[in-house]
Amino acid sequence: MIVMKFGGTSVQDASAISQLVEIVKARPGSRLVVVSALSKVTDGLLKVAQLCEQGDLPGAEKQVDELRLRHLHVGRELGLSAMQIEPIEKWFQQLRHLAASLAALGEVSPRSKDLLASFGELSSSCLVHGAFIQRGVNAAWADSRKLVATDSEFMSAQVDWEKTAANVQAQLLPLLQEQVVVAQGFIAADPKGHTTTLGRGGSDFSGAIYGATLKAEKVEIWTDVNGILSTDPRVVPNAKTIRQVHFLEAAEMAYFGAKVLHPATIYPALKQKIPVWVLNSKNPADSGTEITFDQNSPAGVRGIAFKNNITVVNIHSSRMLGAHGFLKSVFDVFARHKLSVDLISTSEVNVSLTLDPNSDMDALQRAKAELNAFADVEITSGRAMISVIGRGIRDTAGLAAKIFTEIKNINVQMISMGASELNISFVVTSDQSVETVQRLHQALIP
């Protein structure tokens, strides 16, 4: 049994969906196809939410109509019948009613945002299912909201693994015995049946959830590049495909900025030891990247990841010199304000740390107000985090010297190494990130 997850660019139009069908047909055995929304559709739906918050019903309705017409156009190009397109028409009618209610309120709650966002995956999966039927493939459509159970933490729901596994075994497994099944990534439901989502990029996570609960032979993540690359090809055009990468390296690369794979994808598969492949739907003949558990897979530098627009927070308190509890006091504040820290560098009375680009800046200001009670706080934005990643690099003699010699005329503002054997990370200004990555890639990636 194979779980095949297709991202937004792999279902962006009729041509891409037709290619998807051919890829799936070429795979033998039981196949679960998990799809994202059409490329850019989730952004469009979130724009509807924004317009509703502004009370701009005409603008919201125009956006809904544009999305509807795009899906109907794709359906017509795929040759879908009126009956096959009917569910899409109903969903967009519901979406218009929902937009009218939210615009009247001028408020969109996280629960409502999840419901709005779900229409993308529901509609794309309907198009994909119809394309299979039109091309003679015995296929069924499944609603992920009846399969993936979560809590009620809307916009970033946590999976109830026990209930999800029971749902999948009872409802999904029998369907997979006789036909291809198409389901949605990203969406789920809470105990009351309210639609939830797994966070942006959560379609990859959905693929791994299904892979783990089905005990699949493998999970395939289909995207628009030839696997996991040594760095972002927009920065280094000759970035190389890593043909085999250890799970821990892939997770580290994803966490520190690689765009191909959602970090949470790794962990359900890791727990069940299910291989994950990252493949290119636009070039299915390419072998892609195998993410493996093999401890004998190549070690050393595998890739260079980076995040731009990060925020650096420097916290200093000479009052805490010789006193215990300084670090606990600092991180208690960050925990209370739900701020997730990436890198940390510390001394006895000073802590430097970085926050993700998506961090809540209002929450950071509230945290600063608390920290000011016992420390001086400096917040600096416009920074970039560069991470050199690979197993065993902490124990590779001379590597740190090679890295920092290569960028000796670039001002490094913070360094974190030793906490993980998998990465050496440091901070530079965002305007120097491209040059830094290009130099390091040339020097470190053979």
Q: Where are the domains of the chain?
A: 2-223, 303-444
The predicted pLDDT at position 249 comes to 87
| Residue 115 φ/ψ, nearest 5 degrees | -65, -45
Structure confidence at residue 263 (pLDDT)? 63
Our measurement of the distance from residue 297's CA atom to the centroid of its chain's CA atoms, rounded to an integer in Å, reads 25
Tell me the C-alpha to C-alpha distance, in Å, between residue 142 and each of 85, 158, 174, 188, 335.
16, 21, 12, 12, 38
Q: How far apart are CA 11 and CA 71, in angstroms?
A: 11
Q: For the packed helices 57-78 and 82-105, what is the interaxial angle rounded to 10 degrees?
A: 170
Instruction: Provide the 8-state DSSP code for 170.
Output: I
Question: For residues 355 and 341, is the Cβ–Cβ distance under 8 A?
Answer: yes
Please tell me the predicted confidence (pLDDT) of residue 200. 66
Residue 325 backbone zone (phi > 0: left; psi -120 to 50: alpha; other: beta): left
CATH superfamily of 303-444: VC0802-like (3.30.2130.10)
What single-letter amino acid sits at 326?
F
Distance CA 272, CA 44 (A): 36
pLDDT at 321: 59
Q: What is the pLDDT at residue 42?
A: 94
Domain 2-223 is classified in which CATH homologous superfamily?
Acetylglutamate kinase-like (3.40.1160.10)
Q: Please answer whether residues 121 and 46 qualify as being in contact, where contact means their C-beta atoms are separated by less than 8 angstroms.
A: no
Q: What is the pLDDT of residue 313?
A: 95
Per-residue pLDDT of the chain (446 residues; tens, 9 = 90+): 999 999 999 999 999 999 999 999 999 899 999 999 999 999 999 999 999 999 999 999 999 999 999 999 999 999 999 999 999 999 999 999 999 999 999 999 999 999 999 999 999 999 999 999 999 999 999 999 999 999 999 998 999 999 999 999 999 999 999 899 999 999 999 999 999 999 866 889 999 999 999 999 999 999 998 999 999 988 999 999 999 888 888 888 877 766 777 666 777 887 888 989 999 999 999 999 998 887 776 678 989 999 999 999 999 887 655 567 788 888 999 999 999 898 898 877 788 999 988 888 999 999 999 999 889 999 999 999 999 998 888 778 888 899 999 999 999 999 987 666 788 999 999 999 999 999 999 999 98
Helix (H/G/I), strand (E/B), else coil: 88: helix
Two tokens, residue 107: 């408020």
- For position 322, what pLDDT does the model report? 56
Report the Cα 142 to chain-centroid distance in Å.
Answer: 22
Give ∠ CA 248-249-252 in degrees, rounded to 5: 85
Rounded distance between C-alpha atoms, residue 148 and residue 441, angstroms: 40
